Amino acid sequence: QKEVEQNSGPLSVPEGAIASLNCTYSDRGSQSFFWYRQYSGKSPELIMFIYSNGDKEDGRFTAQLNKASQYVSLLIRDSQPSDSATYLCAVRSDFGNEKLTFGTGTRLTIIP
Amino acid sequence: DAGVTQSPTHLIKTRGQQVTLRCSPKSGHDTVSWYQQALGQGPQFIFQYYEEEERQRGNFPDRFSGHQFPNYSSELNVNALLLGDSALYLCASSPAGTSGGDYEQYFGPGTRLTVT
C-alpha cells in the first residue's frame, strides 16, 4: 500500500463548477497535510495546509481533514481555466520528522 | 522578498559523471530539504539540512550527498550518475526555528537534470 494515495486523473471539471480532489494516507500518526499545485514543467507551489480535523478555507480553496478516516481533500470553488494543473497531496508524519511524503498527484483540467 | 532560488536551471551530464546543484533558501528560512521528482511522480525526499548538518535522510544511496553553508544555502552532489538519476531536483526551504514544530516548505524552481 502506498503511503499517500491520490487518483491520478485526469479529472475534468467545467469552468465555474466545484473541483474535488481526494487523498488518503496510511500513517495514522500523521500530523500535517499540505496541498501543492504544480503546473507542467514548473515546481510545486504551496496552496493550502491543514493540521486539525475539519475544514480550512482560503479564498476559493477549502481543505478538509478527517484523521479518523485518514482522508484529506481539497475543494476548489468557481473553478477557472488557470486552475488546470497537477495537485499534489503531501503528508508529514509527526513533529520532528521533517520529510514530506507526496502522492503522485491528480491532474485537473478545467473545461471552459 | 526573494523566494527560494536554484541553479542551474537545466543540466545535461553523461553516465558516471558527478554533478553539483545549488540552492539558496527564502529569506528568514534556515532549513533546506532536497527532493527528486521523476516524470509523472510526486517528489521523493532525499535529505534535509539544518544548522549545517544533515538532519534526516530518505531512501537514497550514498552517491547523493549534500552540504549546508553558514548562510543557509545548500548544495546537492550526485556521484557516478546513472540514467535513472534523470529528474527534476527540487530544493525546499522552511522557516527558522522550526525544529520539532509545525512549518510549511516552499519550493524553488528546480533543476532539470538529464543523464545521457
Residues of A in contact with B99 (CB under 8 A): 96
Closest Cβ opposite residue B43 in set A44, A45, A49 = A44
Residues of A in contact with B45 (CB under 8 A): 99-101
Which one of B29, B104, B111, B114 makes the best mutation probe of the A interface by having the most chain A beta carbons within 10 Å?
A: B104
pLDDT at B107: 95
Contact B45, B35 (CB under 8 A): yes
H-type helices in chain A, by residue range?
none
- Write the CA distances from A24 to A44, A101, B18, B43, B72, integer angstroms: 19, 12, 38, 17, 34
Closest Cβ opposite residue A88 in set B42, B101, B106 = B42
Which of B98, B78, B70, B86 has its CA nearest to residue B17? B78
Three-state secondary-structure class, residue B82: coil
Q: Hey, what long-range contacts does B81-84 have (CB within 8 A, 24 or more apart)?
A: B81/B13, B81/B14, B81/B15, B81/B16, B81/B17, B81/B18, B81/B19, B81/B115, B82/B15, B82/B115, B83/B15, B83/B115, B83/B116, B84/B115
**Each residue of B22-80: pLDDT tens digit?**
999 999 889 999 999 999 999 999 999 988 999 889 999 999 999 999 999 999 999 99
pLDDT at A98: 72
Please provide the average confidence, as pLDDT, over all residues in chain A.
93
Which residues of chain A have a Cβ shorter than 8 Å from any chain B Cβ? 4, 32, 34, 36, 42-46, 49, 51, 88, 90, 95-105
**In chain A, which residue's Cα lies nearest the Cα of B5?**
A43
Q: Do A46 and B100 touch (CB under 8 A)?
A: no
pLDDT at B112: 97
pLDDT at A68: 94
**Each residue of A15-71: pLDDT tens digit?**
999 999 999 999 888 889 999 999 999 999 999 999 999 999 999 999 999 999 999
Host H or E run for residue A88: strand A85-92
Give me the half-sphere count of Cα atoms (radius 13 Å) on the Cβ side of residue B32: 32
A96 — pLDDT class (breaks 50, 70, 90): low
**Each residue of B3-27: pLDDT tens digit?**
999 999 999 999 999 999 999 999 9
Q: Is the pLDDT reported for residue B98 higher than 70?
A: no
Alpha-carbon distance B103 to nearest alpha carbon in chain A (angstroms): 9
